[in-house]
């Protein structure tokens, strides 16, 4: 069985976690701030707030930007549901911007058209969430310029993209956004088992997100609304959650960070080999913009269905029958029943829907062996050439 993605765990990772297990602090100890520092140093951002998932990071990021009832959040339909759900947690409304058929990211032209209409109707978004799909950065310069013109905030969903570059700078430096969010789920670029992080250069947002991850409770006198009553004292000054990352998770994440550049390089190596080996098959291989260096979380092929004697579903199931655990990223969010109940319908975002009807994510992870890759290619060749 070859999965589409898989974590890579070394003896060093295991030792880092065991060291925490035998230390005084399983949670709220030194490993979390250390992991945050590792990520900040890599990204060249000012502040980081580690939490228990990217979903939690998206939620507290939206709250820090004061997204609430009556506000709109826009994202792409080609994403995991969490990029949209975060708005609903805050009582805000969600809308989508269709994708660019070449990058599968939010299309900046479609975004601008939608903004022009929204301005006329008085329903401009408060927050836009571009998702760096498969690790390839969105056109952030254009999206940022639009944010200045139309007055919205930007949260980058970089769940796929830690270790990638945009205009030769690390994704996560927040040069073109307010906050960037990473996921450390095991299928992503680096893992902390479960975990996520929000990075920002805005001190107020960082303070607010740190408060919200732990019940809205502070022990910092400057954040309190009345004087300390003693050394036992803390104040709840906001309504927060328990979204804390444990030290076990942070130790694993921190240990993985040391291999981030190796992982991304290895993913590029595998992707390049796929590009070469799949060149003559009736598939579209991932197009890469010169503005970015992808973290290559996913390698997605699009089937040229009019040149193939099988349906998309048949190819997908045949690969799985061959123990190649391909996947499909993503079912357009607006076609999910929960979103259809909100009024979205098939046909709303045709590029994302067309993409969904042709896309397959094939195995890509650092430990993928050449023989395994050759088996994937041979299986695809057999299925697509008859
Ligand atoms: C994985 C993922 C998330 C959610 O990450 P969790 O850490 O599992 O909460 C959000 N957005 C995108 C694009 C993702 O791929």
d(CA 332, CA 329): 9
* C-alpha to C-alpha distance for 54 and 183, rounded to whole angstroms: 5
Whether 182 and 217 share a structural domain: yes
Residues 209, 196 within the same domain: yes
Using most ligand atoms within 8 A of CB, pick from 4, 53, 54 the residue to mutate for ligand 1.
Answer: 54
Nearest atom of ligand 1 to the alpha carbon of 187: 1
The pLDDT value given to residue 386: 63
Residue whose CA lies nearest to ligand 1 atom number 10: 82
Residues with CB under 6 A from ligand 1: 53-55, 79-80, 82-83, 131, 157, 159-160, 183, 185, 196
- The model scores a pTM over 0.85: yes
Q: Residue 229, exposed/middle/buried by CB under 10 A (0-12, 13-18, 19+)?
A: exposed
Domain boundary residue, one of 234, 257, 280: 257
Length of the chain, in residues: 386
Predicted local distance difference test score (pLDDT) of residue 202: 98
Q: Are residues 312 and 183 in the same domain?
A: no
Is the domain of 64 the same as that of 184?
yes
SS3 state at 94? strand
Tell me which of 7, 53, 55, 135 to substitute to probe ligand 1's pocket, judged by most ligand atoms within 8 Å of the beta carbon: 55
Distance CA 89, CA 171 (A): 26
pLDDT of residue 36: 98
Number of domains in the chain: 2
**Residues 172, 48 within the same domain:** yes
Together in a domain, 250 and 271: no
Residue 206 contacts residue 46 (beta carbons within 8 Å):
yes
Label residue 145 exposed, middle or buried (CB < 10 Å: 0-12, 13-18, 19+): middle
**Same domain for 60 and 174:** yes
Which of 223, 241, 257 is the last residue in one of the domains?
A: 257
Ligand 1 centroid, distance to 55 Cα (angstroms): 6
Strand pairing partners for 361?
Answer: 300, 327
Per DSSP, what are the bridge partners of residue 180? 156, 199
Same domain, 108 and 192: yes
**Treating both helix axes as pointing N-terminal to C-terminal, what angle do 140-150 and 108-121 enclose, rounded to 10 degrees?**
10
- Ligand 1 atom index nearest CA of 196: 7
Indicate if 374 and 298 belong to the same structural domain.
yes
Q: Which domain holds residue 148?
A: 2-257
User: How are beta strands 299-303 and 283-284 bridged, if at all?
Assistant: antiparallel
pLDDT for 385 equals 87
Give the CATH number, domain containing residue 126.
3.40.640.10
- The tens digit of pLDDT for each residue in 213-229 reads 999 999 998 899 999 99
Cα separations (Å) of 26 from 30, 34, 132, 210, 234? Answer: 10, 14, 33, 19, 21
231 & 270 share domain: no
Instruction: Indicate if 169 and 69 belong to the same structural domain.
Output: yes
Report the run of H or E that residue 352 belongs to, with start and end: helix 350-356
DSSP letters for 223-289? G-SS---STT--EE-S---B-PPBHHHHHHHHHHHTTHHHHHHHHHHHHHHHHHHTTTSSEEPPP--
Query: Across the 386 residues of the chain, what is the mean pLDDT of every consecutive 10-residue run?
Result: 96 98 97 98 98 98 98 98 98 98 98 98 98 98 98 98 98 98 98 98 98 96 90 94 98 98 98 98 98 98 97 98 98 98 98 98 98 98 90
Question: What is the token pair recorded at 297?
Answer: 């979380």
Using the mean position of ligand 1's atoms as its centre, give its distance from the Cα of residue 373 in Å: 26
Longest dimension (CA), the chain: 78
Atom of ligand 1 nearest to the CA of 82: 10
**DSSP structural state of residue 100:** P
> What distance in angstroms lies between residue 147's CA and the mean position of ligand 1's atoms?
24
Ligand 1 atom closest to Cα of residue 56: 9
User: Which residue among 228, 257, 286 closes a domain?
Assistant: 257
Rounded to an integer, what distance in angstroms lies between the CA atom of residue 326 and that of residue 323? 9
CATH (domain of 371)? 3.90.1150.10
Q: Are residues 122 and 247 in the same domain?
A: yes
Q: Find the 97 Cα to ligand 1 centroid distance in Å.
A: 19
Looking at residue 248, its pLDDT comes to 98
């Amino acid at each position: 069985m070859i999965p589409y993605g898989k974590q890579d765990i070394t003896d060093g990772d295991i030792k880092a976690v065991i060291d925490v297990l035998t230390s005084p602090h399983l949670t709220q100890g030194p490993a979390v701030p250390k992991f945050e520092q590792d990520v900040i140093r890599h990204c060249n951002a000012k502040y980081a707030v580690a939490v228990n998932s990217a979903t939690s990071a998206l939620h507290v990021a939206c709250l820090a930007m004061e997204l609430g009832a009556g506000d709109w959040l826009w994202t792409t339909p080609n994403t995991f549901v969490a990029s949209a759900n975060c708005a609903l947690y805050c009582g805000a409304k969600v809308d989508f911007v269709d994708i660019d058929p070449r990058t599968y990211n939010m299309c900046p032209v479609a975004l601008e058209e939608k903004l022009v209409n929204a301005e006329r109707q008085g329903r401009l978004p408060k927050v836009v969430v571009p998702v760096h799909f498969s690790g390839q950065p969105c056109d952030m310069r254009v999206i940022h310029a639009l944010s200045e013109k139309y007055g919205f905030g930007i949260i980058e969903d970089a769940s796929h993209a830690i270790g990638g570059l945009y205009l030769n700078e690390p994704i996560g430096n927040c040069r073109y956004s307010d906050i960037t969010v990473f996921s450390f789920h095991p299928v992503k670029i680096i893992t902390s088992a479960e975990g996520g992080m929000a990075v920002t250069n805005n001190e107020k947002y960082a303070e607010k997100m740190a408060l919200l991850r732990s019940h809205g409770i502070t022990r910092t006198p400057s954040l309190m609304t009345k004087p300390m009553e003693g050394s036992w004292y803390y104040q709840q000054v906001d309504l927060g959650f328990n979204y804390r990352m444990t030290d076990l998770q942070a130790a694993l994440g921190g240990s993985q960070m040391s291999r981030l550049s190796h992982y991304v390089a290895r993913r590029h190596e595998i992707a390049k080999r796929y590009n070469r080996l799949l060149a003559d098959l009736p598939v579209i291989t991932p197009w890469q913009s010169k503005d970015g260096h992808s973290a290559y979380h996913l390698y997605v092929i699009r089937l040229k269905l009019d040149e193939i004697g099988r349906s998309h579903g048949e190819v997908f199931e045949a690969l799985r029958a061959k123990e190649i655990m391909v996947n499909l990223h993503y079912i357009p969010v607006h076609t999910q029943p929960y979103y259809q109940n909100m009024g979205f319908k098939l046909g709303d975002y045709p590029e994302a829907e067309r993409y969904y009807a042709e896309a397959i994510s094939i195995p890509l992870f650092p430990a993928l062996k050449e023989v395994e890759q050759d088996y994937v290619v041979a299986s695809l060749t057999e299925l697509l050439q008859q």
